[in-house]
Amino acid sequence: MFQKQSKNGYIPAIEGIGQKTLVYGEKTLMSEFLLKKGSQLPRHSHPHEQTGYLVNGRIRLSVGSEEYDVTPGDSWCIASGVEHGAEIIEDSVAIEVFSPVREDYLPKERDQQ
């Protein structure tokens, strides 16, 4: 699968956070997140391993009982089932890969038109 860069295709995940699936295969899915300053990603967990990279901005990431001040170029890996969340300190862009594929992030037929 190949995907050209586009400013279209972002779906509101929660208030202040937009998600766009970039590419996916049988075992992994890559998403881009646009994160607005002041937004909160509530603590949650899921069965997917999640690796991420902060392209720009600044966030405070909580993973389990640890907190990290994340700046551009920092990366993370969150194991399956571990509770995590984030506070968005500055407008930010993050890229994350999920394994196995997050079925809820697969593009719907209408999104591909």
Residues 6+ apart with CB under 8 A from 105: 19, 21, 24, 29, 31, 98
| Domain chopping of the chain, boundaries | 23-102
The 10s digit of each residue's pLDDT in 37-70 is 999 999 999 999 999 999 999 999 999 999 999 9
Predicted structure pTM score: 0.91
Q: Which CATH superfamily is domain 23-102 in?
A: Jelly Rolls (2.60.120.10)
Question: Quick one: how far is CA 105 from the chain centroid?
Answer: 10
AA identity, residue 24: Y
Each residue's pLDDT tens digit, 84-111: 999 999 999 999 999 999 999 998 854 4
Asked if residue 37 lies in contact with residue 58, where contact means CB atoms within 8 angstroms, the answer is no
DSSP state of 113: -
